[in-house]
Amino acid sequence: MSAGGGAPLAGGVHGPGHLRALTAVVLDTLETAARARGGPLPAGGPDEVARRTTALAAPVLPEEGIGAEAALADLVRAVAEGAADPADPACVAHLHCPPLAVAAAAELAGAALNPSMDSWDQAPAAGVIEELTTAALARLVHPEAPAPDALITSGGTESNLVALLLARERAAAGERPLRVVTGANAHHSVHRAAWMLGLPAPTVVACHDGRIDPAALDRTLAGLGGGPVLVVATAGTTDEGRIDPLPEIARIAERYGVELHVDAAYGGPLLFSERLAPRLAGLDRAVSVTLDLHKLGWQPVAAGVLAVADTALLAPLSLRADYLNADDDTEAGLPDLLGRSVRTTRRPDALKMAVTFRALGRRGLSELVEHCVRTAEEFGRAVDARPALRRRPGAIGISTVLFRPVVADEREPEAGDAVVAEVRRTLLMDGRAVLGRAVAEDGDGRRRLWLKATLLHPAAASADLLPLLDLVTEAAERAAVAAEDADSLPAAGGTGAPATERLSP
């Protein structure tokens, strides 16, 4: 093949023809591979997956190419056969959502056209779509504000980073550095952002039942003795899906004259539902809010958002680069996009969001969110009905259910936690289920290890999830027997034991 003929482009008039042929290979391979995998993840554990993947994918940079069809067939097969696929109802470890087909199809258009969101002359219409999308999201978060705004980010981590950066810049005129005050339940990215920005390590406020204790926040703010402060609360914690008491937190922050940022990476989409939005009451009193539509929004990664109460708050991000936004170009009416991110070259991530929003409407999105919340409640009741399992006492957080096998309670605390960890690893190694793990307070106030089911599948019914409970019960009995025989399992947090034989289906 000649150099040009061997590398057809995705764009232009002829691009779609090339893409049609190649996407046919991709789609056929995805389908065959999902059947071959036959479950939520590949069986055999890391060594086996590495062996099978390497056999199909290496050498990744051969001297002579093998051609587009063959390379796609091999590597798509490798990645799909070896995937942890959130479209399988038994893949529930993380805030790792199954993307909607409509959003994935929109990604293809974005990839083919490749707009870059840092200047108008790379993204004339994509820039408008981004503006419409961020305006709609900004209005959703701050409905009463005169000039709300929002930025597209790569995810919650970047959103939290930019929120802290903007707060630091607002505080820069004063003599004292910004202090960040956050809950013990906050996402690690809040701590990392403070570290990256050269801020003092965040002051951590105690939590009760997985949520910030307002009295403890009050004492902490009283003890700081003035100076600029950003309180960071969470609406949907990563471990438990708990929502901090936002109205009380907002009231306390206002009383001390300090600002509030809410990390709603998980819980933000509750706003789509009239029935569930009241759980986020107080969110609109935050100066900035993190959202993440690659979690409860069914977007392919990346789909992060940072909403701010007033567009003027984004001023510190403005920047001149003569090749991207020269003053005379801006004066002549070319939109200036560079100040909409801390990144330069940037994907058109708003496109898939806009397509999804238009396709489903707010009502359609609301139904998907409500489905996940309802399914989690039903799943929680199913756990409660099983004598061999025990749910973490208390309310279910959004769509996250924590539970553990009762056999783990029958041992010393450390040995019990080791049984829980072993159950999770056994199911992973066997390719039967992808459950998460979380350390959380039990009814007696003690912190224990739990299995975590983060239910983000917008179509899976609770009946589709019941086999998970059988798998856990069965694996727990085995782990308990193995622990008797060997007298101990690796302490939770230690290295995994080798996979046992496959469970019967």
Ligand X SMILES: *Cc1c(COP(=O)(O)O)cnc(C)c1O
For ligand X, the binding residue among 77, 187, 346, 478 (CB under 6 A) is 187
Strands 400-405 and 447-454: antiparallel
Site string for ligand X, 220-259 (x = CB under 6 A): --------------x---x---------------------
299 makes contact with ligand X (CB under 6 A): no
For ligand X, the binding residue among 265, 283, 286, 468 (CB under 6 A) is 265
366 makes contact with ligand X (CB under 6 A): no
For ligand X, the binding residue among 266, 272, 357, 450 (CB under 6 A) is 266
What does the alpha-carbon distance between residue 264 and residue 147 come to, in Å, rounded to a whole number? Answer: 20
Q: Which is nearer to ligand X, 398 or 472 (CB)?
A: 398
Q: How many residues lie near ligand X (CB under 6 A)? A: 14
CB of residue 18 vs ligand X: minimum separation in angstroms?
32
What does the alpha-carbon distance between residue 157 and residue 160 come to, in Å, rounded to a whole number? Answer: 5
Q: Which is nearer to ligand X, 107 or 292 (CB)?
A: 292
For ligand X, the binding residue among 40, 148, 156, 416 (CB under 6 A) is 156
How many CB atoms are located within 10 Å of the residue 307 CB? 29
For ligand X, the binding residue among 157, 182, 273, 400 (CB under 6 A) is 157
CA-based torsion, 205, 211, 214, 216: positive or negative:
negative
CB of residue 50 vs ligand X: minimum separation in angstroms?
24
399 makes contact with ligand X (CB under 6 A): no
* Piece of 47-55, 150-158, 198-206, 207-215 that binds ligand X (CB under 6 A): 150-158
Site string for ligand X, 61-100 (x = CB under 6 A): ----------------------------------x-----
Closest CA to 289 of 248, 261, 267, 253: 261
Closest CA to 474 of 412, 410, 407: 407
- Residue 227 DSSP SS3: coil
CA 83 distance to own-chain centroid: 17
Which residues in 89-148 contact ligand X (CB under 6 A)?
A: 95
H or E, element range at 362: helix 349-384
Return all residues near 408 (Cβ < 8 A) that are at least 6 apart: 416, 417, 419, 420, 476, 480
Longest Cα pair distance anywhere in the chain, in angstroms?
78
How far from 89 is each of 27, 40, 464, CA to CA, in Å? 21, 8, 7
Q: Which is nearer to ligand X, 157 or 473 (CB)?
A: 157
Which positions lie near ligand X, rule CB under 6 A? 95, 155-157, 160, 187, 189, 234, 238, 263, 265-266, 292, 304
